[in-house]
Chains A and B, each alone.
Chain A
C-alpha cells in the first residue's frame, strides 16, 4: 500500500475509534457504551492489521471484541438497574477532569509532533531492509543472516520479519519469553478461579436467603 494512502486510511480509522471512545465515556446508556467500546477495539485492531502486526490484531479481535465486550454486555444485562443509572461528577470536579485530560492530550501531542522519531525511512542498510520487509537467507549451521537470491535452497529462505511475524513471535514465546508466558497463564488461571469463587458464593447465599456482603 502506498504510504500516503495508508496515512489517510489510518487517520480515518483513528477518528472513528476516538469518536466511539468519546461516546463510551459520555453515554448514559451503559449497554450502548459497551457496543461502542467494541467498535473502538475493532478500530484499534484495524490499525494493527494495517501496520503488519497481524497476530496482535487477531488477538485483539478474539480477546477484546469477542470476550471482554461480550462479558461486559452480559454483566450489564444480568445486574438490575445497571442499564440506565449512570451519573457523572458535577460542577468544579467535572471541569477539573476535562482540563486534566485535555492537558494530557495536548502535552502528549506536542511531544509527539516535535520529536524526531527514527523511522523506517532512515534504514539505509540493504540487508536490514531485506531482513525486515522482503526475504532473507538463514545459514542452518552458524545461523548467520545473508541475502537471499534465486539459487538459495528453499529451506534456508525465511520471510521478512514484518512480512510474516507469526513465526518469529512463536519462536520468541517458546524460547526467550517461555517463563513469562507460563506466568501469564498462571495469572489468568488465578483470575478465573477467583471470579468463579466470587460468583459461586453469590449464587449460594442467594439460595439460602442470606444477605451478606462478601
Chain B
C-alpha cells in the first residue's frame, strides 16, 4: 500500500505541474510547474527503488557489484535533480534579461519568433 500512496502523490504532482504549464502565462510560474513535474518523476523512481524489488534479480549473482544495482533509481533521481538545478539557473538568468530589456515576463508577449 505504501508504494501506491507514493505513486498517487507523484501522479498528483505531475497533473498539477501539467495544469500549471497549460494555464499560466507567467514565465516563473511555468518554471515552477516544470520543477513540480521533475519532482514527481524522481519521487516515482525512488518509490519503485524501495518497494518494487525483484528477488530473482538479486539472487542471480550475489556479489557486491551486482547487489548495489538495487539502488539505481536513487542514482537516476540524483542525476535528474542536478540537471533540473542547472536548467533552472539558466532559465532564471533569461528571466532577468527579459525583465530588463522587454519589461515583460508574460509568455504571450514573447512572439518575435512567430512566423
Contacts and interface: CB of A to CB of B under 8 A. Distances in A.
Contacts of A161: 67-68, 70-71
Contact of B47 (A51, A68, A168, A171): A51
Interface in B1-52: 1-9, 11-20, 22-26, 28-29, 31-33, 35-36, 39, 42-43, 46-47, 49-52
Summarize A's interface: helix, strand, loop or mixed.
helix
B14 A104 contact: yes
B96 A79 contact: yes
A209 to B, nearest CB: 12
A157 interface: no
A118 to B, nearest CB: 6
Chain A's interface size range is: 35 or more
A6 to B, nearest CB: 6
B81 A202 contact: no
Contacts, number: 300
Interface of A: 3, 6-7, 10-11, 14, 17-18, 21-22, 24-25, 30, 33-34, 37, 40-41, 44, 47-48, 51-53, 55-56, 59-60, 63-64, 67-68, 71-72, 75-76, 78-82, 85-89, 93-94, 96-98, 100-102, 104-105, 108-109, 112-113, 117-120, 122-125, 127-128, 131-132, 138, 142-145, 161-162, 165, 168-169, 171-173, 175-177, 180, 184, 187-188, 190-192, 194-196, 198-199, 201-202, 205-206, 211-214
Given A7-B2, A56-B78, A214-B97, 5 more contacts: A18-B13, A68-B85, A118-B54, A127-B62, A211-B101
24 contacts: A11-B5, A25-B20, A25-B32, A30-B26, A51-B51, A53-B50, A64-B39, A67-B85, A72-B31, A80-B103, A94-B23, A101-B19, A104-B11, A104-B14, A112-B8, A118-B52, A119-B2, A131-B58, A144-B62, A144-B63, A171-B68, A172-B68, A173-B78, A195-B92
